[in-house]
Amino acid sequence: MKISMQTTIGEITSVPALLDVCKRVGGKLFENPALTSAETLTLQRVAALMGENGEAAISRLIDGVNAILRNLPETEFAVREDDGVSSAQPLSGEATKEERAERARPRDAICPGKVWYDTKGDRIQAHGGTVFFENGIYYWIGENKDYTRKEGKVWTWGVKIYSSRDLYNWKDEGYLVEPALDDKTSLFYPARRLDRPHLLYNKRTKQYVLWLKYCDDAHYTVLVSDALHGAYKVVQAVYRPFGVNCGDFDLYRDEAGQGYLYFEVDHTDVWGVKLSADYTAVEGEPSKIYEGLQPPFAREAVTHMERGGKHYLFTSGMTGYVPNPSEVAVSSDPLTGYVVLGDPHVADDSAASFNSQFSCIFKVEGKDEYIACADRWVPEFVMTREKYDAIVRAIVSRTDPAVKVTEAERRSLAEMPLMGTANTSIADYVWLPIVFEGEMPRIRWRDTWRV
């Protein structure tokens, strides 16, 4: 009976790691430093599915699970604690030689939302990243999700780098930062939740500066290298600007060489601040661009661009891997005075940024053209306006008793793909051009398009 109870909980949440969370936390819940934000959301969703809101419902669940755990043999704990790294298999390994050859055919257009293969015929694995231009070549840098396939706890299998001259055909150039497979204490062990690599070149120091986000411990790691392809050296292992928990971010360098960091803070704020002369830390006081917001309306996927002396800050809402509406704000100053313009996506029936989330925006060299790069993290979960409205109501109802939700709305929240169990090895990309109407940037859907 104990095993069946354990199995039932796993089926309800679709999160096998829940038992590990319960054991580790020991009944202490919200605001517990042992919980990641994703794990907290998991427990909240379980409570919603049980038909109750708040800590009391989760507390009863935790107590019940801990009672089960105390009576299970130690050998069963060992099985659950296996992080799956040593046995992980890449999605790319499933393709035959013939399939890869067909997929490697040259491209002459960008096809948003379609599987994008590199020149070897493998899926491009450069998620949450950035596009960097140097010496006539574009470099696409991002998270390798090839091994992140629901089983185990693999999050990011190193940081990949690809190159292209035409923005259609991308060559795999290997790892910018390789995974550390034999050291569980390493920052680059695949079970660490490494996200959103972004890169600047510092003309003063003649170094490449790479920032990484870690969502399992709400910090950044900063690395430098004398060459684009590395090797990169860690100069800030665990860095939290101003001592706050930090999340999604973007980097910007102006024409004078001043660097800037834009970042999400504590799941409530977005701050902007200048970087130090070597781009490895912040300096001065931060500017609070957004503050006091709560999920799902708090802002993340922070993405900056500059055009004609105007600074634009694109953001998404906060619903994990599930897409939601975007927003753009504009200012004449890189740090202060931002005014919200609204959602840049036009005729978006999904109400979810064409089922995607921003990772970066870059300028096409030699042209007044800008490309918004986004990830479609969970392509099998298609958001609709009705589904999004139900999820929002279910989330808001947990903190606002005036919002009453139906059982169907609660279930819509519980059925969302969760961070940590979603199969992001099949995540796709949505690259679309930005067209300006006055100072308002517009993003319209195109099935296929050329630069």
Residues in the chain, pLDDT under 70: 1-82
Q: In Å, how far are 24, 63, 265 from 4, measured between CA atoms?
A: 21, 17, 40
Average pLDDT value over all residues in the chain: 86
Q: Identify residue 344 by its one-letter amino acid code.
A: P
pLDDT of the residue at 93: 80
Count the Cβ atoms, other than its own, within 10 Å of residue 187: 18
pLDDT at 164: 98
219 Cβ partners below 8 Å, 6+ apart?
Answer: 213, 238, 239, 240, 245, 246
Contact 336, 355 (CB under 8 A): no
pLDDT (0 to 100) of residue 410:
83
Beta bridge partners of 310: 307
Q: How many CB atoms lie within 10 A of CB 249?
A: 25
CA distance linking residue 251 with residue 303, whole number of Å = 8
pLDDT of residue 194: 97
The residue with tokens 């479609």 is 376
Predicted pLDDT of residue 341:
98
- For residue 43, count CB atoms less than 10 angstroms from its CB and return exposed for 0-12, middle for 13-18, buried for 19 or more: buried
> CB within 8 A of 301, min separation 6: which ones?
248, 314, 315, 316, 326, 357, 358, 359
Q: Which CATH superfamily does the domain covering 91-381+421-444 fall into? A: Glycosyl hydrolase domain; family 43 (2.115.10.20)
CA 129 and chain centroid, separation: 9
Provide the pLDDT for residue 47. Answer: 53
Give the Å distances, CA to CA, from 316 to 84, 163, 166, 244.
31, 27, 28, 20
- The pLDDT assigned to 80 comes to 40
pLDDT value at residue 77: 34
Is residue 298 within 8 Å of 315, Cβ to Cβ? no
pLDDT at 59: 57
Do 434 and 443 meet the contact criterion of CB atoms below 8 Å apart?
A: yes
